[in-house]
Amino acid sequence: MSLSTVQEIERAISALTPNEPEELYNWLDQRSDTIDARIEPDLAAGCLDDAIERALSDEKSGRVKPL
């Protein structure tokens, strides 16, 4: 199965069985160092500031729901 767009990945995640999200979280956690290394330069350069501010604003305004 080839997932090449975010929308395809979102659809695949939505179709997970009740036990599979935990497997996905574990898989992502095992790769956190690699993911962090790719994000850190963007974070340091301020490239994620707008996204972070939007997320914090959404949380403060109650526009988010728990996972």
Give CA–CA dist 34/28, Å, rounded: 10
Give the domain ranges of the chain: 18-67
User: What is the total residue count of the chain?
Assistant: 67
Q: What value does the mean pLDDT take over residues 29-53?
A: 93
Whose tokens are 């999200």? That residue is 21
pLDDT per position as a tens digit, 3-35: 788 899 999 999 999 999 999 999 999 999 988
Phi, psi of 28 (to 5 degrees): -65, -40
Give CA–CA dist 38/32, Å, rounded: 10
Task: Tell me which amino acid residue 34 is.
Answer: T
Mean pLDDT estimate for the chain: 91
